[in-house]
Structure 1
Amino acid sequence: MTKKSTIKVEEVNTHIVNWLKTYAQNSKVNGFAVGISGGVDSAVTSTLCAQTGLQVLCVEMPIHQHESHVSRAKEHIEQLKKRFPNVSSIQSDLTSVFEAFKKEVPTDFEENKLNLTLANTRARLRMTTLYYHAGVHGLLVAGTGNKVEDFGVGFYTKYGDGGVDVSPIADLMKSDVFALAAYLGVPESILVAQPSDGLFGDEKTDEQQLGASYDELEWAMLEDANNNPQDSYTERQKEVFKIYKKLNTINQHKMNPIPVCVINRD
């Protein structure tokens, strides 16, 4: 079920960079702020932003972060700063902020529910921090979500990493992101790393959380969009399609506009 990207990377790269530059200029801002996680999505997004020639601020926001994530983020940022003079970086260690928050709220709840809620809290603290840096520098927050995450399974935190101003790679499948990453010269350590949201302080991968790989979910997303018959599916394909449909259904609240109670004024 391995997916191979079919995008024309050079054309896609140029298109996204021009789109970003035009949007920023029309918005009369100085450039972009990007949260850097050590993963492929943030590496591609920040590199695309850097190519605009506008100011790009790479922001590290560790919260009990696994060392491998931190080292990959630093490697990417240093490489990017060497390649693009318009790129700068800053680190805001939010570990103490996160621990202070936990002292002010009750935590005697069922473990799985508590851990997931605290993971989402990490993402929301990062969103607040990223908007602070963007605000004082006159920047837009560039989102790092891809199409499978944002519009397939809703694998992001509402008002966390989902709280952004522009989404440059949200129409790219994960396979497209990897193809673009290779073209852009993203560090090898990032290209070979297993995707992980890093919200649990360990090396828990996205696949472990979702129950399926991005290649599998990308397959299921395309199958669902094309209304393909399921008669010939293998047992694993049936399982993956079921996982995809479940996640797509329960996370519609993230993908759809906020419901508004409309008042009849007649």
Structure 2
Amino acid sequence: MQTKKVVEHIVNWLKEYATNAGVNGFVVGVSGGIDSAVTSTLCAKTGFPTLCIEMPIHQAKSHVTRTQEHIEYLKKNFNNVSDTRVDLTPVFEEFKTEVSLEGKQETLDMALANTRARLRMTTLYYYAGLKGLLVAGTGNKVEDFGVGFYTKYGDGGVDLSPIADLLKSEVYSIAKELNVPESIQVAKPSDGLFGDARSDEDQIGANYDELEWAMKMQEKGKSIEDFTGRELTVFNIYMSYNRRNQHKMLPIPICEIPKNLKKI
């Protein structure tokens, strides 16, 4: 990958989109992870105002530390970057007092995790509306179009996606080119939705290198009969996520009414 040229291409794409949309700049939710770090840096490089928002909800200390380190790095290097911190923990806890917390623990945990992501999306769009900004998404290609590892109308609710055509390994290459803080580059990827330090790999059962491999195998038309051992396990994991998360990756289905039924 021609990293420098890819960075230039994305920055120019962001600038052109913002100019054509007639908006003031970008807002990015910064989590201490590699994807949000790269996205926010790319937005900052446009020269347009870039608002970075930290939105902790019972966040792991390591996530908070990396988030703050990255924001300080951006503010030091780009005078168009500003930041704000919105502690959503009280909002999340109040929400829990108003809804049913019955059901299987695993299902409840996932529902609450997705609620965290949707509260953050709401916050991003509040500031976007207030300041005339675009919400920049932080999803990469494997997450957005491979395993669907994001929350529908949560971190999937964005105005534009600067890095959604980059594999995770390519995001790391961009991060190195952009001098993203080392602490973020070496940290295990995590969605931060459970209030602890569990990684994406812990949840999925495969790391991003493995998922990228599986995605390429799917594109080549391979099937489970072509693999054994760990490769078979990883391919099955990937295909399972890919199948059940199609509702996130495909357009919302619309019930089309036959024209003859609409006739009076």
The TM-score normalised by the length of structure 1 is 0.96
Matched-pair contact (CA < 8 Å) for 2:201–2:207: yes
Deviation at 1:99, TM superposition (A): 0.2
Letter in 2 for 1:60: E
Residue 241, structure 1, aligned to residue 198, structure 2: no
Residue 177, structure 1, aligned to residue 185, structure 2: no
Match of 2:209?
A: 215
Letter in 1 for 2:242: N
Match of 1:81?
A: 75
Match of 2:252?
A: 258
Match of 2:117?
A: 123
Aligned equivalents of 1:221, 1:227: Cα separation in 2 = 10
Residue 101, structure 1, aligned to residue 92, structure 2: no
SS at match of 2:259: coil
Cα deviation per residue 1:95-138 (whole Å; 9 max; x = unaligned)? Answer: 00000000000102110000000000000000000100111010
SS at match of 1:144: coil
Cα deviation per residue 1:78-99 (whole Å; 9 max; x = unaligned)? Answer: 0001100000000000000000
Cα deviation per residue 1:185-234 (whole Å; 9 max; x = unaligned)? Answer: 00000001000000000011000100100000000000110124666634
Aligned equivalents of 2:188, 2:228: Cα separation in 1 = 25
Aligned equivalents of 1:41, 1:205: Cα separation in 2 = 14
Aligned equivalents of 2:138, 2:228: Cα separation in 1 = 33
- The root-mean-square deviation of aligned C-alpha atoms, in Å, is 0.9
Aligned equivalents of 1:230, 1:70: Cα separation in 2 = 40
SS at match of 1:59: strand
Percent identity at matched positions? 64
Aligned equivalents of 2:84, 2:245: Cα separation in 1 = 33
Cα deviation per residue 1:138-173 (whole Å; 9 max; x = unaligned)? Answer: 000000000000000000000000000000000000
Aligned equivalents of 2:99, 2:215: Cα separation in 1 = 38
Give the number of equivalent residue pairs. Answer: 260
Aligned equivalents of 1:124, 1:62: Cα separation in 2 = 13
Gaps of 5+ in 1: 1-6
1:134-145 correspondence runs (5 A): 134-145=128-139
Aligned equivalents of 2:164, 2:230: Cα separation in 1 = 27
Aligned equivalents of 1:18, 1:108: Cα separation in 2 = 49
Matched-pair contact (CA < 8 Å) for 2:224–2:235: no
Matched-pair contact (CA < 8 Å) for 2:31–2:67: yes
Do the aligned partners of residues 12 and 98 (structure 1) sit closer, same or farther apart at CA in structure 2, a change above 3 Å counting?
same
Matched-pair contact (CA < 8 Å) for 2:141–2:163: yes
Letter in 2 for 1:184: L
Aligned equivalents of 2:184, 2:140: Cα separation in 1 = 16
2:196 to 183, 202, 205: 202
Letter in 1 for 2:101: T
Matched-pair contact (CA < 8 Å) for 2:224–2:236: no
SS at match of 1:237: helix
Letter in 1 for 2:95: F
Match of 1:155?
A: 149
Aligned equivalents of 1:54, 1:35: Cα separation in 2 = 16
